[in-house]
Chain A
Amino acid sequence: MAGAGPRGVRARAFGVSLWIAATAVVAFFLLPVVAIFTRVPPGELVDQLSNEVVRDALRVTLETNLVALAFILLLGTPAAYLIATRSFRGRALVLTLIELPLVLPPAVAGIGLLAAFGRTGLLGDELEALGVSVSFTRTAVMLAVAFVAGPFYVRPAIAAFESVDSTLLGAARTLGAGPGRTFVRVALPLASAGLGAGAALAFARGLGEFGATIMFAGSLQGVTQTLSLAIYQEFDLNFDAALAISALLVLVSGVLLLSVKVIAGWRSTYTSLIPFGRSPSTSS
């Protein structure tokens, strides 16, 4: 019986310690974010955003990230569909390889990209023959972002396609739709919530990309300097500008996180209809 005696006291002490731990965790996560907004008055933050360094960084970040995201979606979606709907030898290995960039230290990713695409890298001669120089260009930023952020899209995309009832794909085929039409008209719309959430996650990760970019693309203002790199440069020169960029990124990340949550909520509307269908696989 709880409430009285040493066992009751211990139970209550345990409950209290859980609350203390939870409060500490939330406060620890929240404090740095709050600090960004309290160091400088909001008006000053807005003024700093018109600073040329910030404007250049914003442009580079948007351009590189949108291209990288398009690249991830265009190649990642069909790849995820294949992995989710076919069984083939080495599938488990492929799944693991796709997760590799998730666990790789960003600096290692940067070195790896240099070693692969740099002038003296693995594909350096081939790229040179084509007249393409990758490292320390905007292309390098895009490659770095795609490499680091790609798995954040492909993993949930595989889970989203796996949770589409395979009977529905079979039904589409018997109704006269070829594999391509089945993909576009049935698999894609039914997986769209998971794909959207994955895309938002990948975009958020790409915006914050730092380590691989600075090693592979450098930090040239107006060329390869993204918002994250600009923060690093400005915090020596103009701390208020660094704070302003940080505040902007906090807002954008918050919006992306929120959209992931909202999109994930849509998912439940489609699955309830199929009581005996293949159970949705555990999604990330």
Chain B
Amino acid sequence: MALDVHLSHPLRTFALDLELSVGGQTLALVGPSGAGKTSVLRTVAGLLRPDAGRVALDGEIWLDTAARVDLPPERRRVGLVFQDYALFPHLSVRRNVAFGGRTRVDELLERLRIAELAEARPREISGGERQRVALARALARDPAVLLLDEPLSALDAFTRMQVRAELRDLLRSLALPTLVVTHDFEDAAALADLVGVLVEGRVLQIAPPSELVAAPADAFVASFTGANLLRGVASEGPAGLTAVALEAGFTAYTVDRGRGGVSVAVYPWEVSIAREEPHDSAVNHVRAPIGSLVRLGNRARVRVGPITAEVTTQSVERLGLREGDVVVASFKATGARILPPAP
């Protein structure tokens, strides 16, 4: 089963123009807010009619502006989970789910662990529970395509981690063509088999999340996947390396080739932190005070001059790191990638 989407539609300051195909897997569209992500979902669901476009599920044509086909939303087999869930406030959880279809209500209430909330009103339950109700309601319709609009953004950080894992398992077991939009690359990488980066209405790159990290097509994709981006001027360096004189004031060495104005991408988990310059395989070192230190569970993000490093909290304790301490951030020449400069 495959969903094919082709659409072009003017938005406020740019035009949405993309072509997608989703099989029995999850495709996440990530991009900054206002990139047109929600418009894609609304077009597939039939809530937005684009200037030109085609939406088809296998042979079933839902929209074809050229052939003047435009099925109303109720005749497209989609399950759309809205960003703020859009539960009907006047109906109980059970009746919300039954609105989508009456045949599998009890099964879905059980499956999404909301059976004990069946008689509650949406305003009486938590954000994570509302999300499960919205999913159950969308699935009650027995959709052939699932659409999720920022499914995790309305949740607090703690609930979000938990719901993310549950949602991933659910999507795997459903094996429906699923389109998720999110502004968070981590959410996208956790949920989806394929991630497309959408900027100003265009898809810059579609690839499995690991590949986006390993080989970002350009500087925007790299920064979106969480890389440090450092601008500079590249020239030939020693031992076949490229030397990039960075605007930040030091020189980085990389195995990639490049000349002139470039961006260097370095992922935080490829950067290590030490009190003194280490004698190891890393050739790039930045000595600077710690600008910020943020703990995220068992990891910590440490900002050293222009670079953010991600290290374990265990290392932070062992080295006794505190904001303001002067430390050395190091990364290998193989951990620095040259990309065309960010637009």
Chain A residues engaging chain B, CB cutoff 8 angstroms? 165, 167-168, 170-179, 185-186, 189-190, 269-270, 272-277
Contacts and interface: CB of A to CB of B under 8 A. Distances in A.
B74 A168 contact: no
Nearest to A277: B84
Contact of A173 (B73, B88, B122, B138): B73
Contact of B72 (A165, A173, A277): A173
Given A185-B99, A272-B123, A273-B123, A174 B89 contact: no
Given A170-B45, A277-B84, 10 more contacts: A170-B47, A170-B73, A174-B46, A174-B79, A175-B100, A176-B100, A178-B72, A179-B72, A189-B90, A269-B89
Contacts of B101: 175-176
B73 A174 contact: yes
Interface string B132-147: 0000011011000000
Contacts of B140: 175
B86 interface: yes
19 contacts: A165-B86, A168-B88, A170-B45, A170-B47, A171-B82, A171-B86, A172-B99, A173-B74, A174-B46, A174-B79, A174-B138, A176-B100, A176-B141, A177-B74, A190-B90, A270-B89, A270-B90, A273-B87, A274-B84
Contacts of A173: 46-47, 72-74
Contacts of A189: 90
Contacts of A179: 72
Nearest to A189: B90
B74 A176 contact: yes
Contacts, number: 72
Nearest to B84: A276
Contact of B80 (A168, A174, A185, A190): A174
Contacts of B88: 168, 171-172, 186, 190
Interface in B87-112: 87-90, 99-101
B123 A168 contact: no
A270 B123 CA distance: 9
Nearest to B98: A175
Given A190-B90, A270-B90, A273-B89, A174 B47 contact: yes
Interface string B36-53: 000000100111000000
B78 interface: yes
Interface in B51-78: 72-74, 76, 78
Nearest to A186: B88
Interface in B183-200: none
B78 A174 contact: yes
A185 B82 CA distance: 19
Nearest to A170: B47
A270 B87 CA distance: 11
Contacts of A270: 89-90
Interface in B153-179: none
What bracket does the count of chain B residues touching chain A fall in?
Answer: 20 to 34
A275 B138 CA distance: 21
Contacts of A167: 82, 84, 86
B149 to A, nearest CB: 10
A175 B89 contact: no
A165 B123 CA distance: 15
A171 B99 CA distance: 10
A174 B76 CA distance: 8
B121 to A, nearest CB: 9
9 A-B pairs with the lowest CB-CB distances in the bound complex, closest first: A173-B73, A171-B86, A174-B80, A273-B89, A175-B100, A270-B89, A167-B86, A273-B123, A174-B73
A177 B89 contact: no
A171 B80 contact: yes
Contacts of B89: 190, 269-270, 273-274
Contact of A175 (B47, B90, B137): B137
A171 B101 CA distance: 13
Contacts of A165: 86
Nearest to A275: B84
Contacts of A185: 99
A167 B76 CA distance: 17
A66 B83 CA distance: 44
Given A185-B99, A273-B122, A178 B86 contact: no
Residue among B47, B87, B89, B122 having the largest count of chain A Cβ atoms under 10 Å: B89
B99 A177 contact: yes
Residue among B42, B72, B99 having the largest count of chain A Cβ atoms under 10 Å: B99
Contacts of A274: 84, 89
Nearest to A181: B74
Contacts of A269: 89, 123
A268 to B, nearest CB: 11
